[in-house]
A and B are shown apart, each in its own frame.
Chain A
Amino acid sequence: MSPAVLTQSLRKEFKLGWGRGRVLAVEALSLEVKRGEVFGLLGPNGSGKSTAMKMILGLLRPTSGRAEVCGFRAGTLAARKQIGFLPENPYFPAFLSGAELISYYGRLCGMGGTRLQDRVQELLSLVRLGGEKGRRPLRTYSKGMLQRAGLAGALVSDPEIIMLDEPTAGVDPAGSREIRDLIRELKQRGKTVIFSSHLLEQVEDVADRVIILHRGQKLREGRLEDLLTQTTEWQVRARGLGEDRRKELHAWLVKQGAEVMEEGSPRERLEDFFLRSLPEEERR
């Protein structure tokens, strides 16, 4: 089976016009995203993440190299049928309601009739925009609600691949957690998720593999486990050790020739603590 996304020596230059030269946005980018994988695109601003995504989506034409989506040349109708896309910022027609937005995107995918109506209602419930919320114009939505509406729009045709460009940018921790949960759920359903993010902890939480870009070039690529596991060190978390036992353990480790680098009670992550502090109904 062909990979979900395959790029070979992808390069993109932008002409500045009026003889001002060119800007290199992506250079020699080769990557392969397997089906069913959650793939993270990492990199600072201007590293070429969005440009790479746009080339895969067919919104930009590569200067050279090629990209394929499920075996189809990127940008073709067949390739675009495989992808649902959520852009970085909520670039949606503000005059539409949440339900109208999803319906519009569904019709652009060639859907119609009761199948589309049912799908719209199903997705509104999935992203918690059912009832009155779904009938409100998008201009009255918060950033989190817009992202959820956009996500529903990306899922409307039940695509094989979901591409999310900074899906949690500007979203509060609860909304951010929700999007991560949704990514996990999509993975469980066998979907391929490709997303970019600046928030590395979030990437760490959900991604199977990542690629790190810098100035348009690939710096590192691999499975998170392989990239992050420090095989020369060992870590134990234990409960029920008294002060004396801890000292004994420390002395024993030193006696064994180990260098004790860190010791102490573990700290909860601020995000988990914050979410735990909120009332139950606010966490979702």
Chain B
Amino acid sequence: MRESGRRILAVAANTFLEAVRQKVFAVMLIFALVLLGGANYFAEFSFQEQFKFLKDLGYATISLTGLLVGLLGAAQLIPAEIERRTILTALCRPLRRWEFVVGKYLGLVFLLGTMLAIMAAGFWAVLRWKEAQLVGAEGTEAAMIQAIQAEARDARLWQAFWLVSAKLFVISAIAVFFSTLATSTTFVVAMTLMVYLIGHLQSVAREQWLESGEKVGWILQAFLAGVAFLIPDFNLYGLIDEIVAGNAVQWRATLEVMAYSVTYVFVLLAAAAWLFEGRDL
């Protein structure tokens, strides 16, 4: 068990190191930080609107950058190793295939986690910067200062951050799943984006269908049930928008979505490992 953990960590550390030494991820991170910092210069509205804009743009930047990192990172994980044949020199060693898949995923999670943490720190710094600007402006009253501080130091933003992270980890697990089947990175990116879109649309489609009261055959019912079971419902992460809009979201609801995410990650990784086990290299 200890040896197994050591092997998984070795694969994860190597995956992380490879990503860190690739300039593309560093460039993406710098771009995201510049975007976050630049958002602070939009100062033509009321302070509430300014914070709303900052939070909208901040979470959009973090989500989009995380999505690109997750997609590109996962797409490169296994297909690129097969293409370069470096996988042969790893899997000919006493390393189980599921250990390889889990190690690769963990490496990607380390990378995503690090980038998310840096972006979150940047976002926090921008919010505090905005707070200092607004509080330091002439004629700011004590009540207004309190309101500004409440906006800038809103603890609910942490909830949103955990939810964004969970969503990105699920998307990465989907990409890892496809990467165990694929021989090209394009296939992985295309399939993951497709699942991402279906995951966003499926609950909307289901609601529309239920509201219409239309009767459908058992084949279509089974198909829709299958889609609902196999594809994560990304609308559950709509809680992020609620938080950014300033609405209260209970921690219980957040934790439920986190548990849902962890379950999906486990199922996807188990399926990926099972499929990869029988694959000729």
Assess the B280–A61 pair: CB atoms within 8 A: yes
With CB as the reference atom, state the residue of chain A lying closest to B15. A93
Assess the A95–B89 pair: CB atoms within 8 A: no
Assess the A59–B281 pair: CB atoms within 8 A: yes
The verdict on A33 contacting chain B, using a C-beta distance below 8 Å, is no
Assess the A108–B281 pair: CB atoms within 8 A: no
Assess the A87–B95 pair: CB atoms within 8 A: no
Assess the B89–A85 pair: CB atoms within 8 A: yes
The verdict on B84 contacting chain A, using a C-beta distance below 8 Å, is yes
The verdict on A198 contacting chain B, using a C-beta distance below 8 Å, is no
Assess the A93–B92 pair: CB atoms within 8 A: no
The listed residue (B21, B22, B93, B280) touching A108 by CB distance below 8 A is B93
Bound complex: CA of A237 vs CA of B95, how far in Å? 53
Assess the A91–B93 pair: CB atoms within 8 A: no
Complex interface: chain A residues within 8 A of B21 (CB): 95
The verdict on B49 contacting chain A, using a C-beta distance below 8 Å, is no
Candidate in B6, B14, B17, B22 with the most chain A CB atoms within 10 angstroms: B14
Q: Is the interface of B mostly helix, strand, loop or mixed?
A: helix
Assess the A105–B88 pair: CB atoms within 8 A: no
Tell me the minimal C-beta distance from B193 to chain A in angstroms. Answer: 24
Assess the A58–B10 pair: CB atoms within 8 A: no
Complex interface: chain A residues within 8 A of B75 (CB): none
Complex interface: chain B residues within 8 A of A153 (CB): 89
Candidate in B6, B11, B89, B281 with the most chain A CB atoms within 10 angstroms: B89
With CB as the reference atom, state the residue of chain A lying closest to B103. A108
Assess the A91–B85 pair: CB atoms within 8 A: yes
The listed residue (A14, A57, A92, A110) touching B92 by CB distance below 8 A is A57
The verdict on B52 contacting chain A, using a C-beta distance below 8 Å, is no
User: Count of B residues near A, CB < 8 Å?
Assistant: 26
The verdict on B3 contacting chain A, using a C-beta distance below 8 Å, is yes
With CB as the reference atom, state the residue of chain A lying closest to B9. A107
Bound complex: CA of A60 vs CA of B87, how far in Å? 13
The verdict on A214 contacting chain B, using a C-beta distance below 8 Å, is no
Bound complex: CA of A14 vs CA of B6, how far in Å? 34
Bound complex: CA of A153 vs CA of B92, how far in Å? 12
User: When each residue 81-108 of chain B gets 1 if its CB lies under 8 Å from chain A and 0 otherwise, what string results?
Assistant: 0001110111111111000000000000
Candidate in A77, A85, A93 with the most chain B CB atoms within 10 angstroms: A93
Tell me the minimal C-beta distance from B168 to chain A in angstroms. Answer: 24
Complex interface: chain A residues within 8 A of B278 (CB): 61
Assess the A108–B18 pair: CB atoms within 8 A: no
Tell me the minimal C-beta distance from B19 to chain A in angstroms. Answer: 10
Assess the A91–B89 pair: CB atoms within 8 A: yes
Complex interface: chain A residues within 8 A of B128 (CB): none
With CB as the reference atom, state the residue of chain B lying closest to A111. B6
Assess the B90–A108 pair: CB atoms within 8 A: yes
Given A59-B91, A110-B94, CB of A87 within 8 Å of CB of B281: no
New A-B contacts (6) at CB < 8 Å, excluding given A91-B89, A108-B11, A108-B94: A61-B278, A80-B95, A109-B93, A110-B7, A110-B94, A150-B89
Instruction: Please report A residues at the B interface, Cβ cutoff 8 Å.
Output: 14, 54, 57-61, 77, 80-81, 83, 85, 87, 89, 91-93, 95-96, 104-105, 107-110, 112, 150, 153, 157
